[in-house]
A = this chain, B = another copy of it.
Protein backbone atom coordinates (compact mmCIF):
# COMPACT_ATOMS: atom_id res chain seq x y z
CA UNK A 1 0.00 0.00 0.00
CA UNK A 2 0.93 3.63 -0.44
CA UNK A 3 2.75 4.89 2.65
CA UNK A 4 3.10 8.48 1.44
CA UNK A 5 1.85 11.11 3.86
CA UNK A 6 1.32 8.52 6.59
CA UNK A 7 4.60 9.54 8.29
CA UNK A 8 4.40 9.07 12.02
CA UNK A 9 0.62 9.07 12.12
CA UNK A 10 -0.76 5.75 13.32
CA UNK A 11 -4.23 6.62 12.11
CA UNK A 12 -3.13 7.39 8.55
CA UNK A 13 -1.01 4.25 8.43
CA UNK A 14 -3.99 2.12 9.41
CA UNK A 15 -6.22 3.97 6.95
CA UNK A 16 -3.70 2.93 4.27
CA UNK A 17 -3.54 -0.65 5.61
CA UNK A 18 0.12 -0.40 6.60
CA UNK A 19 0.03 -0.02 10.38
CA UNK A 20 2.37 -2.33 12.25
CA UNK A 21 1.73 -1.37 15.89
CA UNK A 22 -1.43 -1.29 18.01
CA UNK A 23 -4.52 -0.01 16.20
CA UNK A 24 -5.28 3.71 16.35
CA UNK A 25 -8.35 4.65 18.40
CA UNK A 26 -10.92 7.43 18.18
CA UNK A 27 -14.66 7.44 18.86
CA UNK A 28 -17.54 8.80 16.86
CA UNK A 29 -19.07 11.69 18.82
CA UNK A 30 -16.08 11.60 21.17
CA UNK A 31 -16.67 15.29 21.92
CA UNK A 32 -20.03 15.89 23.50
CA UNK A 33 -22.57 15.71 26.25
CA UNK A 34 -21.01 12.92 28.32
CA UNK A 35 -17.97 15.10 29.14
CA UNK A 36 -18.29 17.47 32.15
CA UNK A 37 -15.97 20.03 30.47
CA UNK A 38 -18.37 20.03 27.49
CA UNK A 39 -21.34 20.57 29.79
CA UNK A 40 -19.58 23.58 31.28
CA UNK A 41 -19.41 25.30 27.88
CA UNK A 42 -22.90 24.09 27.02
CA UNK A 43 -24.33 25.98 29.97
CA UNK A 44 -23.30 29.28 28.38
CA UNK A 45 -23.71 28.53 24.67
CA UNK A 46 -26.18 26.80 22.40
CA UNK A 47 -25.15 23.82 20.27
CA UNK A 48 -25.27 25.99 17.14
CA UNK A 49 -23.01 28.60 18.76
CA UNK A 50 -20.56 25.91 19.82
CA UNK A 51 -20.30 24.66 16.25
CA UNK A 52 -20.22 28.08 14.61
CA UNK A 53 -17.62 29.81 16.74
CA UNK A 54 -14.18 28.40 15.83
CA UNK A 55 -12.84 29.20 19.32
CA UNK A 56 -15.56 27.13 20.98
CA UNK A 57 -15.54 24.39 18.32
CA UNK A 58 -11.76 24.09 18.63
CA UNK A 59 -12.00 23.85 22.41
CA UNK A 60 -14.76 21.23 22.33
CA UNK A 61 -12.98 19.18 19.63
CA UNK A 62 -9.83 19.14 21.79
CA UNK A 63 -11.52 18.09 25.05
CA UNK A 64 -11.55 14.31 24.50
CA UNK A 65 -8.00 14.43 23.12
CA UNK A 66 -6.73 16.22 26.22
CA UNK A 67 -8.50 13.74 28.48
CA UNK A 68 -7.75 10.46 26.71
CA UNK A 69 -4.90 11.13 24.22
CA UNK A 70 -6.74 9.74 21.18
CA UNK A 71 -5.12 9.12 17.80
CA UNK A 72 -7.52 11.30 15.85
CA UNK A 73 -9.43 14.48 16.60
CA UNK A 74 -12.70 14.95 14.79
CA UNK A 75 -13.91 18.49 14.27
CA UNK A 76 -16.98 19.49 16.30
CA UNK A 77 -19.72 20.35 13.83
CA UNK A 78 -22.98 18.92 12.46
CA UNK A 79 -23.67 17.32 9.09
CA UNK A 80 -26.92 19.25 8.73
CA UNK A 81 -25.34 22.72 8.46
CA UNK A 82 -24.44 21.99 4.84
CA UNK A 83 -28.15 21.63 4.04
CA UNK A 84 -28.85 24.84 5.90
CA UNK A 85 -26.19 26.50 3.76
CA UNK A 86 -28.15 25.29 0.73
CA UNK A 87 -31.23 27.12 1.97
CA UNK A 88 -33.10 24.60 4.17
CA UNK A 89 -34.26 26.28 7.41
CA UNK A 90 -33.01 24.24 10.36
CA UNK A 91 -33.81 24.38 14.06
CA UNK A 92 -32.34 22.59 17.12
CA UNK A 93 -34.83 22.13 19.93
CA UNK A 94 -32.76 20.29 21.14
CA UNK A 95 -32.87 17.68 18.34
CA UNK A 96 -32.51 18.93 14.76
CA UNK A 97 -35.53 19.62 12.59
CA UNK A 98 -35.87 20.99 9.08
CA UNK A 99 -38.79 23.39 9.30
CA UNK A 100 -39.90 22.85 5.69
CA UNK A 101 -39.47 19.17 4.79
CA UNK A 102 -38.59 18.84 1.10
CA UNK A 103 -41.35 16.88 -0.58
CA UNK A 104 -42.06 18.72 -3.83
CA UNK A 105 -40.12 19.35 -7.03
CA UNK A 106 -40.30 23.06 -6.34
CA UNK A 107 -38.78 22.72 -2.87
CA UNK A 108 -36.05 20.43 -4.13
CA UNK A 109 -35.20 22.63 -7.09
CA UNK A 110 -34.93 25.68 -4.89
CA UNK A 111 -31.95 24.25 -2.94
CA UNK A 112 -28.89 26.30 -3.85
CA UNK A 113 -25.29 25.19 -4.31
CA UNK A 114 -23.57 26.27 -1.10
CA UNK A 115 -20.57 28.59 -0.97
CA UNK A 116 -17.81 26.91 1.09
CA UNK A 117 -16.57 30.34 2.12
CA UNK A 118 -20.01 31.24 3.47
CA UNK A 119 -22.25 29.55 6.02
CA UNK A 120 -19.99 26.55 6.66
CA UNK A 121 -16.76 28.58 6.81
CA UNK A 122 -16.35 28.13 10.60
CA UNK A 123 -15.68 24.41 10.23
CA UNK A 124 -12.84 25.20 7.85
CA UNK A 125 -11.28 27.60 10.31
CA UNK A 126 -11.64 25.08 13.15
CA UNK A 127 -10.00 22.37 11.04
CA UNK A 128 -7.10 24.71 10.20
CA UNK A 129 -6.55 25.48 13.87
CA UNK A 130 -6.73 21.82 14.87
CA UNK A 131 -4.17 20.88 12.23
CA UNK A 132 -1.78 23.64 13.21
CA UNK A 133 -1.97 22.99 16.95
CA UNK A 134 -2.02 19.18 17.10
CA UNK A 135 1.19 17.15 16.76
CA UNK A 136 1.67 15.42 13.39
CA UNK A 137 1.08 11.94 14.84
CA UNK A 138 -2.54 12.88 15.60
CA UNK A 139 -4.90 12.86 12.61
CA UNK A 140 -7.49 15.59 12.08
CA UNK A 141 -10.84 14.36 10.75
CA UNK A 142 -13.45 16.23 8.81
CA UNK A 143 -16.81 14.77 7.83
CA UNK A 144 -20.09 15.18 6.02
CA UNK A 145 -23.41 13.40 5.61
CA UNK A 146 -23.69 11.24 2.50
CA UNK A 147 -26.26 12.34 -0.10
CA UNK A 148 -28.84 9.65 0.74
CA UNK A 149 -28.69 10.35 4.47
CA UNK A 150 -28.84 14.12 3.93
CA UNK A 151 -31.81 13.64 1.60
CA UNK A 152 -33.49 11.47 4.26
CA UNK A 153 -33.14 14.22 6.87
CA UNK A 154 -34.33 16.88 4.42
CA UNK A 155 -37.35 14.92 3.24
CA UNK A 156 -38.40 13.62 6.66
CA UNK A 157 -37.79 16.94 8.42
CA UNK A 158 -37.42 15.25 11.75
CA UNK A 159 -35.97 11.83 11.11
CA UNK A 160 -38.14 8.81 11.93
CA UNK A 161 -36.68 5.38 12.26
CA UNK A 162 -38.46 3.89 9.29
CA UNK A 163 -37.65 6.56 6.72
CA UNK A 164 -41.26 6.57 5.59
CA UNK A 165 -41.18 9.79 3.55
CA UNK A 166 -37.84 9.28 1.88
CA UNK A 167 -38.91 5.79 0.84
CA UNK A 168 -42.19 7.11 -0.41
CA UNK A 169 -40.36 9.65 -2.57
CA UNK A 170 -38.02 6.87 -3.74
CA UNK A 171 -41.00 4.97 -5.10
CA UNK A 172 -43.38 7.76 -6.09
CA UNK A 173 -40.91 10.11 -7.74
CA UNK A 174 -37.48 8.49 -8.12
CA UNK A 175 -36.31 11.10 -10.68
CA UNK A 176 -36.98 13.88 -8.23
CA UNK A 177 -34.98 12.07 -5.56
CA UNK A 178 -32.13 11.51 -8.03
CA UNK A 179 -32.11 15.25 -8.76
CA UNK A 180 -31.84 15.97 -5.02
CA UNK A 181 -29.10 13.37 -4.55
CA UNK A 182 -27.06 14.79 -7.45
CA UNK A 183 -27.27 18.26 -6.01
CA UNK A 184 -26.24 16.99 -2.58
CA UNK A 185 -23.37 14.93 -4.00
CA UNK A 186 -22.00 17.99 -5.80
CA UNK A 187 -22.24 20.14 -2.68
CA UNK A 188 -20.78 17.43 -0.44
CA UNK A 189 -17.84 16.79 -2.73
CA UNK A 190 -16.78 20.42 -2.80
CA UNK A 191 -17.46 20.74 0.93
CA UNK A 192 -15.19 17.80 1.81
CA UNK A 193 -12.59 19.07 -0.67
CA UNK A 194 -12.57 22.38 1.20
CA UNK A 195 -12.21 20.55 4.54
CA UNK A 196 -9.18 18.64 3.25
CA UNK A 197 -7.63 21.83 1.94
CA UNK A 198 -8.26 23.58 5.25
CA UNK A 199 -6.38 20.97 7.25
CA UNK A 200 -8.28 17.68 7.55
CA UNK A 201 -6.04 14.65 7.00
CA UNK A 202 -9.00 12.46 6.21
CA UNK A 203 -12.78 12.70 5.98
CA UNK A 204 -15.62 10.41 7.00
CA UNK A 205 -18.82 10.24 4.97
CA UNK A 206 -21.81 9.32 7.16
CA UNK A 207 -24.45 7.34 5.27
CA UNK A 208 -26.13 6.60 8.57
CA UNK A 209 -29.57 5.77 7.16
CA UNK A 210 -28.53 3.84 4.06
CA UNK A 211 -28.76 0.60 6.06
CA UNK A 212 -32.55 0.95 5.80
CA UNK A 213 -32.27 0.12 2.10
CA UNK A 214 -32.25 -3.28 0.48
CA UNK A 215 -29.34 -3.96 -1.85
CA UNK A 216 -31.08 -2.92 -5.07
CA UNK A 217 -32.22 0.39 -3.65
CA UNK A 218 -28.82 0.99 -2.08
CA UNK A 219 -27.23 0.48 -5.49
CA UNK A 220 -29.63 3.00 -7.00
CA UNK A 221 -29.95 5.69 -4.36
CA UNK A 222 -26.93 5.53 -2.05
CA UNK A 223 -23.87 3.95 -3.64
CA UNK A 224 -23.58 6.06 -6.86
CA UNK A 225 -23.72 9.28 -4.86
CA UNK A 226 -21.16 8.10 -2.31
CA UNK A 227 -18.98 7.25 -5.29
CA UNK A 228 -19.49 10.71 -6.82
CA UNK A 229 -18.40 12.32 -3.55
CA UNK A 230 -15.31 10.12 -3.17
CA UNK A 231 -14.41 10.64 -6.85
CA UNK A 232 -14.46 14.37 -6.44
CA UNK A 233 -11.90 14.26 -3.62
CA UNK A 234 -9.76 11.43 -5.00
CA UNK A 235 -7.10 13.87 -6.27
CA UNK A 236 -6.31 14.92 -2.72
CA UNK A 237 -4.83 11.49 -2.07
CA UNK A 238 -6.31 11.55 1.44
CA UNK A 239 -7.85 8.30 2.68
CA UNK A 240 -11.59 8.50 3.22
CA UNK A 241 -14.00 6.59 5.43
CA UNK A 242 -17.54 5.41 4.69
CA UNK A 243 -19.89 4.79 7.61
CA UNK A 244 -23.23 2.98 7.29
CA UNK A 245 -25.35 2.01 10.30
CA UNK A 246 -26.97 -1.42 10.05
CA UNK A 247 -25.17 -2.20 6.79
CA UNK A 248 -24.27 -5.85 7.40
CA UNK A 249 -26.08 -6.77 4.17
CA UNK A 250 -24.23 -4.09 2.16
CA UNK A 251 -20.55 -4.86 2.66
CA UNK A 252 -19.89 -5.67 -0.96
CA UNK A 253 -21.57 -2.48 -2.16
CA UNK A 254 -19.81 -0.39 0.50
CA UNK A 255 -16.46 -1.74 -0.63
CA UNK A 256 -16.93 -0.46 -4.18
CA UNK A 257 -17.77 3.11 -3.13
CA UNK A 258 -14.20 4.34 -3.45
CA UNK A 259 -13.73 4.72 0.32
CA UNK A 260 -10.40 3.54 1.66
CA UNK A 261 -11.89 2.56 5.03
CA UNK A 262 -15.27 1.05 5.88
CA UNK A 263 -16.76 1.88 9.26
CA UNK A 264 -19.11 -0.87 10.44
CA UNK A 265 -21.28 -1.46 13.48
CA UNK A 266 -21.72 -4.25 16.03
CA UNK A 267 -24.10 -6.16 13.78
CA UNK A 268 -21.25 -7.05 11.42
CA UNK A 269 -18.36 -9.18 12.65
CA UNK A 270 -15.01 -7.45 12.04
CA UNK A 271 -13.31 -10.75 11.33
CA UNK A 272 -15.96 -11.88 8.88
CA UNK A 273 -15.86 -8.48 7.20
CA UNK A 274 -12.07 -8.74 6.88
CA UNK A 275 -12.36 -12.23 5.38
CA UNK A 276 -14.95 -11.04 2.91
CA UNK A 277 -13.18 -7.82 1.93
CA UNK A 278 -9.55 -8.91 1.68
CA UNK A 279 -6.64 -6.84 2.95
CA UNK A 280 -6.69 -3.82 0.67
CA UNK A 281 -9.33 -1.84 2.52
CA UNK A 282 -9.30 -0.38 6.03
CA UNK A 283 -11.88 -1.43 8.64
CA UNK A 284 -13.17 0.71 11.47
CA UNK A 285 -15.48 -0.19 14.33
CA UNK A 286 -17.42 -1.79 15.81
CA UNK A 287 -18.53 -1.97 19.47
CA UNK A 288 -22.08 -1.07 20.45
CA UNK A 289 -21.80 2.29 22.27
CA UNK A 290 -24.23 0.99 24.89
CA UNK A 291 -21.54 -1.36 26.26
CA UNK A 292 -20.03 1.77 27.83
CA UNK A 293 -22.87 1.63 30.37
CA UNK A 294 -21.32 -1.54 31.74
CA UNK A 295 -18.62 -1.30 34.42
CA UNK A 296 -15.06 -0.45 33.33
CA UNK A 297 -13.79 -4.03 33.79
CA UNK A 298 -16.44 -5.35 31.41
CA UNK A 299 -15.72 -2.57 28.96
CA UNK A 300 -12.02 -3.53 28.95
CA UNK A 301 -13.01 -7.14 28.42
CA UNK A 302 -15.10 -6.32 25.36
CA UNK A 303 -12.41 -4.03 23.94
CA UNK A 304 -9.86 -6.81 24.39
CA UNK A 305 -12.07 -9.26 22.52
CA UNK A 306 -12.03 -6.91 19.53
CA UNK A 307 -8.31 -6.31 19.86
CA UNK A 308 -7.63 -10.05 19.93
CA UNK A 309 -9.93 -10.62 16.98
CA UNK A 310 -8.09 -7.99 14.91
CA UNK A 311 -4.56 -8.53 16.26
CA UNK A 312 -1.92 -7.96 13.56
CA UNK A 313 -4.42 -6.37 11.16
CA UNK A 314 -2.58 -3.41 9.62
CA UNK A 315 -5.78 -1.80 8.36
CA UNK A 316 -7.83 -1.76 11.55
CA UNK A 317 -9.01 1.42 13.29
CA UNK A 318 -10.60 0.92 16.70
CA UNK A 319 -13.89 2.76 17.14
CA UNK A 320 -17.49 2.26 18.21
CA UNK A 321 -20.21 1.24 15.80
CA UNK A 322 -22.11 4.50 16.39
CA UNK A 323 -21.57 7.71 18.37
CA UNK A 324 -20.95 7.90 22.12
CA UNK A 325 -24.34 8.18 23.87
CA UNK A 326 -25.31 11.02 26.22
CA UNK A 327 -24.96 9.91 29.83
CA UNK A 328 -22.06 7.56 29.09
CA UNK A 329 -19.76 7.28 32.13
CA UNK A 330 -16.42 8.97 31.43
CA UNK A 331 -14.58 6.18 33.26
CA UNK A 332 -15.89 3.60 30.81
CA UNK A 333 -14.63 5.63 27.87
CA UNK A 334 -11.25 5.83 29.61
CA UNK A 335 -11.23 2.05 30.15
CA UNK A 336 -12.00 1.50 26.47
CA UNK A 337 -9.29 3.81 25.19
CA UNK A 338 -6.73 2.48 27.66
CA UNK A 339 -7.43 -1.10 26.62
CA UNK A 340 -6.35 -0.15 23.11
CA UNK A 341 -3.42 2.02 24.13
CA UNK A 342 -2.04 -0.62 26.50
CA UNK A 343 -1.53 -2.99 23.59
CA UNK A 344 1.76 -1.32 22.79
A interface residues with partner B (beta carbon < 8 Å):
160-162, 164, 167-168, 170-172, 211, 213-215, 217, 246, 248-249, 266-269, 288, 290-294, 298, 322, 325, 327
A172 surroundings in chain B (CB, below 8 A): 293-294
Identify the closest chain B residue to A266 (Cβ).
B214
Q: Which 4 A-B pairs give the minimum distances between C-beta atoms?
A: A161-B161, A167-B290, A214-B266, A171-B293
Partner of A168, one of B167, B215, B266, B293: B293
Identify the closest chain B residue to A167 (Cβ).
B290
In whole angstroms, how far apart are the Cα atoms of A13 and B268 in the complex? 35
In whole angstroms, how far apart are the Cα atoms of A292 and B167 in the complex? 10
Nearest chain B CB to A287 CB, angstrom units: 9
A246 surroundings in chain B (CB, below 8 A): 211, 246, 267
Nearest chain B CB to A44 CB, angstrom units: 27
A292 surroundings in chain B (CB, below 8 A): 171
Partner of A290, one of B164, B268, B290: B164
Identify the closest chain B residue to A291 (Cβ).
B171
Identify the closest chain B residue to A159 (Cβ).
B161
Q: A246-B246, A248-B248, A293-B172 are in contact. Are A267 and B167 (CB under 8 A)?
A: no
Partner of A288, one of B217, B249, B290: B217
In whole angstroms, how far apart are the Cα atoms of A170 and B294 in the complex? 9
A294 surroundings in chain B (CB, below 8 A): 171-172
